[in-house]
A and B are shown apart, each in its own frame.
Chain A
Amino acid sequence: MAMSAYMRRYTIRMLAFGAAYAVTLVGAIMIMKQPWAPTGVPLYLLAVLPALPVIGMIWTIMRLAVETEDEYQRHLFGRQVLVATGLTLSLATIWGFLEDSDLVAVLPSYHVTVVWLAMFGIAGCFVRWRA
């Protein structure tokens, strides 16, 4: 079955941002370990660099809602986002209370995005299986 134009754009963008994330993450870590590693504002910019492709992935997912030409697929996508967001917020809330009680490690907040992306994938299987 041929891939629709909007799904092709989505796949290309996700692959591009995924590759950019890998490059910027590894690059930033390697640079920070060097004796000549930047300090001050450049260090802030370097630290934030891997976040930009992740924001690009979020933008790509949101663009799918706009670019999907098929209204039923858009409907399923909306449900997928709602399920992913609900699961992620629930997990983040549970984890936060466990952190407050010193029962689990304190995690960097960007893990929320990673968990949301994972939940988005799981929700996609669930929503389309029930569709």
Chain B
Amino acid sequence: MKNRLKVLRAERDWSQSDLAGRLGVSRQSVNAIETGKYDPSLPLAFRIADVFGLSIEAIFSKE
């Protein structure tokens, strides 16, 4: 699964730690999701979408 986390973070000038804090997860989690090593669960994907004010489809896409 591909995602636009890095771009969306950069647009908001957020570090991985900033995003992790907003999501209530570790920085390693954000890094793993961002680099495609880990696909988040649906509840976490919804939280990510809420944080960015976007739909899940606007952030995540199939390979």
Contacts and interface: CB of A to CB of B under 8 A. Distances in A.
Interface residues of B, number: 12
B19 to A, nearest CB: 13
A71 B25 contact: yes
Contacts of B37: 131
Chain A interface size, under 10 / 10 to 19 / 20 to 34 / 35 or more: under 10
Nearest to B44: A71
Nearest to B29: A72
Interface in A28-82: 69-73, 75
Interface string B22-54: 001110110011000110110010000000000
Contacts of A75: 38
